[in-house]
Amino acid sequence: MGQKTSSQSQVVDYTCAYCGTDVLELATDQTSCKRCQGPLEQSAKPKSDVFTTEEETKIKVGPDVLIKRIQILPFKETLPEEYADREIMDDQSLLDNFLTPYFRENHPYAKVGKRFQIREVDWKVTACHPPYGKINENTKIRCMSSPLSVLQNISQLHILPTKVSIDSVIRREKKEGKTEDTIDPKELFTKYVKPYFSTDSGDHEPRHIALGDLFMSGGIQFKVMAAEPSNGLVTKVCQIHTQGEPLVDIKRIHILPIYETLPNPDKTITEQKMMEKYLKPFFIGTHQFVKKGVDLHIDGVEFKIVAVEPESGLVTQNTEIYNNGTPISYDDIKAQRIAQDQAMARRLQQQESGGLRFNFHGGHRFARLGSHETQGLVLSQALLANPQEIRYLLAELGAGVGQQNQQPAASTREINNLPTHQWKSKDALSREMEQKNQDKELTTCMVCLEEYEQDQWLRTLPCFHFYHQECIDKWLVTNNTCPVCKHPAS
């Protein structure tokens, strides 16, 4: 099991059925994947859909694997009237009236995507840890999120593969004699994505999918990065985008809550209780995507990412999560943003003056933070050593890093890979906006603030915001994020 050959190549004996990770060296007592706690399968090529029936799940997983945490969401069309208009579900009410009584009497096997019907309400498992197992009285159940819908179709979808699963597939293909070190984007779509959502055979109904979902196809794990609307059925007319680099795993992350967003009882909560109440339920079993500079919203509380390595990726079971330190106030954030604006002003002046540098601050203390490559790690280490340093370091990091604080520029190839279309003043979207007359972002370029005109070329980003092609191309050369939502553009 997991033996190495005499050459440099390694024999892959086990693969995680849930995330596609190869286990090159199986520890003596290892029975599950360390990345996600999913079950390991012996060298056989993973299937697109594993454990399709409860009996198969029971046989494959075994009777002793219990679900520790699970998130189950209802379909709003099946909810009683008193819940029908709620955008966010009342976790405790649903637990008391539906989920707790049901699972107290029933201990079914579950996996991500499984459906239940409880008191005439349809439910779907959107996350669980481990990803397969049996629900019992000790399982922590969560349902605080927006309800799902089966009566709406997704018009646009952006999905990305995980790097660990891509690497595993390439490794297996090399054992079969292939020599490529990458999977071509066209092959990724036609061989893995399209078959997963296809309904051509007539055997499958359109799949229901939601923002943040994970799914496996042909041994590759994919994550839904953006969806319009946020959940629904994927039909033949859905536009599916796969532009972007594979998602890497986060090694470590340091996050702190924003003080003003905490409920009054939690303003003095201990770090351990903060971890148990907010962070563990949010991260465990969900493989959340995080990115430097993008705040997290967890159960009504806003969290600031203080440091993260690498700068974007998925939080897995292997990620080290730190939350030590006092909560950050809006005054701290305001000071940091002012510093970032000053850095941007310096950058623009440098460009306009042919590279002449302007010094807006002494920066003597910031100089201790070292090179750009180590700033995030040094910041995290400083906070771990002395949490009270956070306000000073945040402000100085923003003021001193200059143009390094901006997202790296997109390459010409990355920009050209983004889809374009011509604006038609009487297309369906225009007519709808003329009727509603409410969302200026859909009729106006938010870079130049001019309205779109007939036949002008627009470019669409992975987050589905679009702009004048000329405007956004210039923007992406200096900042590889959407001007509106800050989602990465490539």
| 234 and 168 inside one domain | yes
Q: 190 in a domain, yes or no? A: yes
Kindly tell me if the per-residue pLDDT of 353 is higher than 50.
Answer: yes
Phi, psi (deg, nearest 5) at residue 79: -75, 150
| 134 and 60 inside one domain | yes
Q: 93 in a domain, yes or no? A: no
Q: 88 in a domain, yes or no? A: no
What are the residues whose beta carbons fall under 8 Å from the beta carbon of 141, sequence distance 6 or more? 70, 71, 72, 95, 99, 100, 103
CATH code of the domain covering residue 258? 3.10.330.10
| 314 and 344 inside one domain | no
Choose the final residue of a domain: 268, 294, 328.
328
| 170 and 235 inside one domain | yes
What pLDDT shows up at residue 4? 37
| 110 and 137 inside one domain | yes
Q: Is the pTM of this model over 0.85?
A: no
What pLDDT shows up at residue 226? 93
Q: 488 in a domain, yes or no? A: no
Closest CA to 238 of 464, 489, 467, 431: 464
Q: 442 in a domain, yes or no? A: yes
Kindly tell me if the per-residue pLDDT of 369 is higher than 60.
Answer: no
406 in Cβ contact with 346 (< 8 Å): no
**CB neighbourhood size of 113 (10 A):** 17
| 127 and 202 inside one domain | no
Closest CA to 281 of 139, 384, 160, 380: 139
Q: Residue 467's domain spans which residues?
A: 412-478
Percentage of residues in the chain with pLDDT exceeding 90?
Answer: 35
**CB neighbourhood size of 456 (10 A):** 16
Residue 338: its H or E element: helix 330-352
Q: What order do you get walking across the sheet with 121-129 strand by strand?
A: 115-118, 121-129, 69-74, 140-142
Q: 49 in a domain, yes or no? A: no
Q: 25 in a domain, yes or no? A: no
Number of domain units in the chain? 5
Percentage of residues in the chain with pLDDT exceeding 70?
Answer: 73
| 321 and 340 inside one domain | no
| 349 and 366 inside one domain | yes
Q: 16 in a domain, yes or no? A: no
Choose the final residue of a domain: 283, 300, 328.
328
Over the stretch 118-132, which tens digit does the pLDDT of each residue have? 999 999 999 999 998
Alpha helices in 10-162 (DSSP H): 54-61, 91-94, 100-105
Rg for the chain, CA atoms, rounded:
24
What are the residues whose beta carbons fall under 8 Å from the beta carbon of 171, sequence distance 6 or more? 12, 22
Choose the final residue of a domain: 241, 265, 296.
241
Over the stretch 374-429, which tens digit does the pLDDT of each residue have? 344 444 444 444 444 444 444 444 444 444 445 567 888 888 888 888 887 654 44
| 387 and 466 inside one domain | no
| 425 and 391 inside one domain | no
What pLDDT shows up at residue 415? 86
